[in-house]
Chain A
């Protein structure tokens, strides 16, 4: 198994981003961000008739003067957003050293962005284990082992919180129905962001002659001559997979970003920002 090594220097150099927060209200504990419910922020939300017990400070006396009706001003609540960072720790994310290294860099960028967001961030790797809080970006290194036999995304009941920001990072190279998968991940969330990471060779393989293709997650092996026709067919299938994810994400208002391994970190961060996953801090 390749060892993890995140170039934190490069990552921090490119970490002038935070997670993009949606304009729609989000859920969370008391914090700096506007919430979905009524609260005590300074942002006006609505009026409602006065009821005994209401705080008299919120009575709109000017409106009473005009209409002789007691009305109470309502304000939006302020919350700290919840972030669920769902990462794929299956062996496919470390099929080569380059992919594993690129995965580490990508997670480093996202971890930095999460901490820059002043949010309560949890790392979700599997449905079987409790999520882990992310205090500092370096905490992400504990999850780069990538030894699982399957991706967490293939599990049906991940411990995701309601109205949370969800960032899902994977290569998505497992058999799936994109609409079902994305719909499941987006259920009850404030914003879903999908980040797909693959090697360039996984997206655009070259004709390489006969090979025994062995699935790194033990899902079989196949003797195949990688000729032009086979490669062409593979590329078409991969494109359909990536396009399916993108379309499914758009249908639910999610963001989708595609990252090719061995892309410089800065370019990765910019790409994520361009896709709406990150925003300038």
Chain B
């Protein structure tokens, strides 16, 4: 196969060589005894018009052979008839539903591997394959432009287990890798038309191959482990989804380590339902598993033992309706306990100019200290109130119908306002010293005269205060997460050594900071935050243990999976320049022949030149 026909023009060198040989041999041979006597005579230029029979010499043959070989190289001769290498770029849907198996134990993943192999066979053994795995962060499984054998080897190790995600990012990467020479194929278990979020579904030049199969499936959609006070023990609450038309009766197994805690057959009706399972108190992380069905990925969750962050509260308000209202509001908030030197101290605002106890936030109600006041009398306000809505303290607070009583005028700059009306600050945070980590909250309000404590905003405000404080305590926000969720863990102190994250087969270093933020890694499982040296024998300590689980309603629902092909490959030029002619065996053969012919010809002619 000739890939550069213009290169065949170099074949004109062959008749040129023949012509040279034809004309340079025109003189009759005359043997002489003393050639040296003729050699100073002016030599006649070679060439002329007299044509005689062409002598077939070794030199002529070698020169023609070299010209032929070099012309074929220039013409881009290829061994194979297809010559051009097709480049197939495959985007694999890495969502967990691709691993759902039917009654024969066959999954969409298996069919995808077969389809890729079929496509590679169709394109020929010279084809190149690039395999891209979709996901929130798409990655290249094989390639770019790998040999088919390498691509198939990579496919063998492919295990789709990602939560539901858009294929758009993967498609963008695949398009970049395909360029103008690649044929793009997307393999998913969802039909192209049913992927409106993926603009790829209807894009031109993409062959969308759906290899899914509608299957009944029961999966865990959500799981929560709760602690209860008293002797009732803990509990696990599961939200289950039965994506079929008939009730299912899976077996639930709860285990802690190697020990089975509970085994129970439950009936799950079509649609969503929940089930609560009792647990003994004080168990470490427990695993809850459903019996096998089409999709194994959603049959199991691991729930870490929650260690709630209790906020210690100290109520130093003077007796009266304000103190009572605070006590009532605190009683309605979970995770709060009364303490002598608590995390949160409710006190009169006039005490806020005293030194702040370590580790305690103070909330002052009433008349602020005299040094903070500007000149003027206390006033009552009915609105309108300006609220700093972005501050977590005021989330859900509206102050509708509230009479803000006894607000004293404050000196400017003393308090950063959160609630104000006109030019008067009604509540805010003390500026304090820059080094003070715990701010004081000033509520410039006479609790005995205001109706705020009877409004719905009061418990909200108190709850927000509690939760703000709770957020600042060491520990994670939650103890169990979904794969891909952001996890925030407050260490509460400077780390004593390097921090690492360990979850299943994933282990990576975390930045040494008081606040750790990371994405719950796939495939999930028990996530440990470890502090200390990594080397064996080092004194590492598990700081926190969290549960990371695959909980994905969309992936658990296998009823809308389909098998169909949509779209077609784009008409593209084949991959040609990426590998270059040097990868073609014929190139090297021709180069060797040409080089050998030139060298041989030179060695053949060299003695004659020397003698001449």
Chain A 81-109: CB-based contact to B (< 8 A → 1; otherwise 0): 00000000000110110010000000000
Chain B 27-42: CB-based contact to A (< 8 A → 1; otherwise 0): 1111111111111111
For the complex, what is the distance from the CA of A198 to the CA of B32, rounded to whole Å? 11
Docked-complex contact B43 and A213, CB < 8 angstroms? no
Among B29, B38, B43, B611, contact of A234 (Cβ-Cβ < 8 Å): B38
Docked-complex contact B612 and A222, CB < 8 angstroms? yes
Docked-complex contact B608 and A221, CB < 8 angstroms? yes
B residues 3-39 near A (Cβ < 8 Å) are 24, 26-39
Residues of B within 8 A of A216 (CB): 31-33
Given A222-B38, A234-B37, CB of A212 within 8 Å of CB of B30 = yes
* Number of chain B interface residues as a range: 20 to 34
Docked-complex contact A213 and B611, CB < 8 angstroms? no
Docked-complex contact A233 and B40, CB < 8 angstroms? yes
For the complex, what is the distance from the CA of A210 to the CA of B46, rounded to whole Å? 11
Docked-complex contact A234 and B41, CB < 8 angstroms? yes
For the complex, what is the distance from the CA of A215 to the CA of B30, rounded to whole Å? 9
In the complex, A211 has a CB within 8 A of chain B: yes
Given A221-B612, A222-B612, CB of A214 within 8 Å of CB of B38 = no
In the complex, A70 has a CB within 8 A of chain B: no
Docked-complex contact A211 and B31, CB < 8 angstroms? no
For the complex, what is the distance from the CA of A217 to the CA of B35, rounded to whole Å? 9
In the complex, B44 has a CB within 8 A of chain A: yes
Report the minimum CB–CB distance from B370 to chain A (whole Å): 125
Residues of A within 8 A of B42 (CB): 229-230
* Number of chain A interface residues as a range: 35 or more
For the complex, what is the distance from the CA of A237 to the CA of B35, rounded to whole Å? 12
For the complex, what is the distance from the CA of A213 to the CA of B41, rounded to whole Å? 12
Docked-complex contact A95 and B611, CB < 8 angstroms? no
Docked-complex contact A219 and B611, CB < 8 angstroms? yes
Binding site for A on B (CB under 8 A): 24, 26-44, 46, 48, 608, 611-612
Main secondary structure of the interface of A (DSSP, over half): mixed
Docked-complex contact B27 and A210, CB < 8 angstroms? yes
Residues of A within 8 A of B32 (CB): 95, 202, 213-216
Please give 13 more A-B residue pairs, beta carbons under 8 A apart, in addition to A174-B36, A214-B35, A216-B33. Answer: A95-B31, A95-B33, A171-B34, A173-B34, A173-B37, A211-B30, A215-B32, A219-B36, A222-B35, A230-B42, A233-B40, A237-B37, A241-B37
Docked-complex contact A224 and B38, CB < 8 angstroms? yes
Main secondary structure of the interface of B (DSSP, over half): loop
Report the minimum CB–CB distance from B182 to chain A (whole Å): 60
For the complex, what is the distance from the CA of A208 to the CA of B27, rounded to whole Å? 11
Docked-complex contact B34 and A202, CB < 8 angstroms? yes
For the complex, what is the distance from the CA of A198 to the CA of B37, rounded to whole Å? 14
For the complex, what is the distance from the CA of A234 to the CA of B40, rounded to whole Å? 9
Given A221-B612, A230-B38, CB of A202 within 8 Å of CB of B33 = yes
Binding site for B on A (CB under 8 A): 92-93, 95-96, 99, 171, 173-175, 198, 202, 208, 210-225, 229-230, 233-234, 237-238, 241
Docked-complex contact B26 and A210, CB < 8 angstroms? yes
Residues of B within 8 A of A225 (CB): 44
Report the minimum CB–CB distance from A239 to chain B (whole Å): 11
Kindly report which residue of chain B lies nearest to residue A210, judged by CB atoms. B27
Docked-complex contact A215 and B35, CB < 8 angstroms? yes
Max count, chain B CB within 10 A of own CB: residue among A171, A198, A223: A223
Given A213-B32, A214-B29, CB of A238 within 8 Å of CB of B37 = yes
Report the minimum CB–CB distance from B175 to chain A (whole Å): 67
Jot down 17 A-B pairs with beta carbons below 8 A, ordered by A.
A92-B34, A95-B31, A96-B31, A171-B33, A174-B36, A210-B26, A210-B28, A210-B44, A211-B28, A214-B29, A214-B30, A214-B31, A219-B36, A221-B611, A222-B39, A223-B43, A230-B42
For the complex, what is the distance from the CA of A225 to the CA of B28, rounded to whole Å? 11
Kindly report which residue of chain A lies nearest to residue B609, judged by CB atoms. A220
For the complex, what is the distance from the CA of A234 to the CA of B26, rounded to whole Å? 22
Report the minimum CB–CB distance from A227 to chain B (whole Å): 9
Residues of A within 8 A of B39 (CB): 222
Kindly report which residue of chain B lies nearest to residue A90, judged by CB atoms. B33
Docked-complex contact B41 and A224, CB < 8 angstroms? yes
Residues of A within 8 A of B35 (CB): 213-215, 219-222
Max count, chain A CB within 10 A of own CB: residue among B24, B26, B33, B37: B33
Max count, chain B CB within 10 A of own CB: residue among A171, A215, A219, A225: A215
For the complex, what is the distance from the CA of A241 to the CA of B36, rounded to whole Å? 12
Given A219-B35, A223-B43, CB of A211 within 8 Å of CB of B27 = yes
Report the minimum CB–CB distance from B37 to chain A (whole Å): 5
For the complex, what is the distance from the CA of A230 to the CA of B608, rounded to whole Å? 23
Docked-complex contact B31 and A224, CB < 8 angstroms? no
